[in-house]
Structure 1
Amino acid sequence: MYGPAYFDEIRPALLHGLIDDHPLGAVVTHGDNGLDANHIPFIIDAADADAPFGILRAHVARANPLWRHDGETLVVFQGPSAYITPALYEDKKINGKVVPTYNYAVVHAHGTLRAIEDPAWLLALLARLTARHEAAQAMPWTMDDAPPDFIERLVKMIVGIEIPVTRMHGKWKVSQNRSRNDQRTVMAAMDAPMVHTMRRRAEA
């Protein structure tokens, strides 16, 4: 991923934070039929000896050939993005030497995918994903709300995937190449997700 050094981001806390906030990853693989991409919600777990940048965990339909992929995998997580009009820059009034741009934050995670078919592992993952995404509901749904035989049947139709991340790179293009005054003006014009992303990087 191209980017000037001042847009680079390698701090694990920020990278994991973006994945937690925006867990839908684009899983990019290359096989006999060329490039392919699948879009899957992930959980990122702490690093270990085999995964210095954490472990991505998810599940896919058994009918999805992704779980049989053998080789390097790239997962792209897209954070907030926003168009930036030149009207927000003080140079617009002074000399007109400004142009439009986009602010955004992304994470690229690399590793080798492995499949997990253990029902207990899958049930534990499903419970974690459900708790994570139901947390904001007034009456959170749990797997106990569905008949056990129904859940058991569905578990047989999915396969877990795990990607120990061996390389992770982020790009935070959030006006840090502009003056402090421009940054404040841009932040005042942005919606909450982009403001949160800009502040999180500034305070990390």
Structure 2
Amino acid sequence: MYTPSAFRDDDLQSLHAHIGNTRLAVLITHGEQGLQATHVPLLLDPQSGEKGTLYGHMARGNKQWRDLESGAEVLLVFPGADAYVSPGFYPSKAQDPRTVPTWNYVAVHAWGIPEVIHDAEPLLAIVRRLSDRHEQGRERPWSVDDAPADYLDGMLKAIVGFAIPIERLQCNRKLSQNRSAIDREGVRSGLAASADPLDNHLAALMQQP
């Protein structure tokens, strides 16, 4: 990922927060089947390893898990807020029209070598933690314990788990830092006034220190 120094974020706590807030990541491998990508929800244990460890699972019918077993490095993409930036947002355009559209966005990439999990007990722990996380706040949260034991056993046999200790992290937090203060405020105001909630989300990020 091209990351100019103005947009680079190396703060581990900030990167972990972004990963934790990403509901669906993209897991990318390059093996005998060529390039493969699967969209997966993941759990981050920030205390496991130097940069944290990611946990998840995929269907056993998804042959990408065999790439995970090969011992090759994988790439995980954690997309964030993004928004089109119009040149009309820049107050400086009135004095200097030499400007073009761009795109503001936040994204984190992580690399690591996976460990594949087949045993039922650690698989169930991953499923339980994922379910508990995404059921939070519901009036009647669903639990894996609500499913019949024999049904759950069958479902666990149909998935493969994995743990990925993070070896490298990269973040591009492109929020108009390369523009003047007045132009940055013009972008933030323009996105905040948009009817698109995704634009509003990015405007809120621009307001953060």
Identify whether the pair has TM-score above 0.5, normalized to the shorter chain: yes
2:56 aligns with one of 49, 55, 58: 58
Q: Do 1:107 and 1:168's aligned partners in 2 also have CA atoms closer than 8 Å? A: yes
Q: Do 1:91 and 1:98's aligned partners in 2 also have CA atoms closer than 8 Å? A: no
Tell me what 1:195 maps to.
203
Please report how far the alpha carbon of residue 125 of structure 1 lies from its aligned counterpart in structure 2 after TM superposition: 1.3
Q: What root-mean-square deviation, in Å, do the aligned CA atoms of Structure 1 and Structure 2 show?
A: 1.7
Please report how far the alpha carbon of residue 192 of structure 1 lies from its aligned counterpart in structure 2 after TM superposition: 3.9
Question: 5+ unaligned residues in a row in structure 1: which ranges?
Answer: none
Deviations 1:50-104 (A, max 9, x none): x321101100111122222210101111111100111111112222122111001
Please report how far the alpha carbon of residue 196 of structure 1 lies from its aligned counterpart in structure 2 after TM superposition: 4.0
Rounded Cα–Cα distance in structure 2 between residues aligned with 1:33 and 1:147: 36
Look up the equivalent residue of 1:13 and give its one-letter code: Q
Alignment of 1:108-123 (within 5 A): 108-123=109-124
Aligned sequence identity (%): 39
Correspondence 1:19 to 2:19: yes
Please report how far the alpha carbon of residue 123 of structure 1 lies from its aligned counterpart in structure 2 after TM superposition: 1.5
Please report how far the alpha carbon of residue 29 of structure 1 lies from its aligned counterpart in structure 2 after TM superposition: 1.0
Please report how far the alpha carbon of residue 148 of structure 1 lies from its aligned counterpart in structure 2 after TM superposition: 2.4
Tell me what 1:45 maps to.
45
Paired residues, number = 199
1:17 counterpart SS class? helix
Alignment of 1:53-202 (within 5 A): 53-69=51-67, 70=70, 71-190=72-191, 191-200=199-208, 202=209
Look up the equivalent residue of 2:152 and give its one-letter code: I
1:6 counterpart SS class? coil
Rounded Cα–Cα distance in structure 2 between residues aligned with 1:163 and 1:153: 25
Please report how far the alpha carbon of residue 47 of structure 1 lies from its aligned counterpart in structure 2 after TM superposition: 4.2
Rounded Cα–Cα distance in structure 1 between residues aligned with 2:162 and 2:206: 32
Q: Do 1:91 and 1:97's aligned partners in 2 also have CA atoms closer than 8 Å? A: no
Q: Do 1:12 and 1:53's aligned partners in 2 also have CA atoms closer than 8 Å? A: yes
Rounded Cα–Cα distance in structure 2 between residues aligned with 1:196 and 1:152: 44
Q: Do 1:23 and 1:43's aligned partners in 2 also have CA atoms closer than 8 Å? A: no
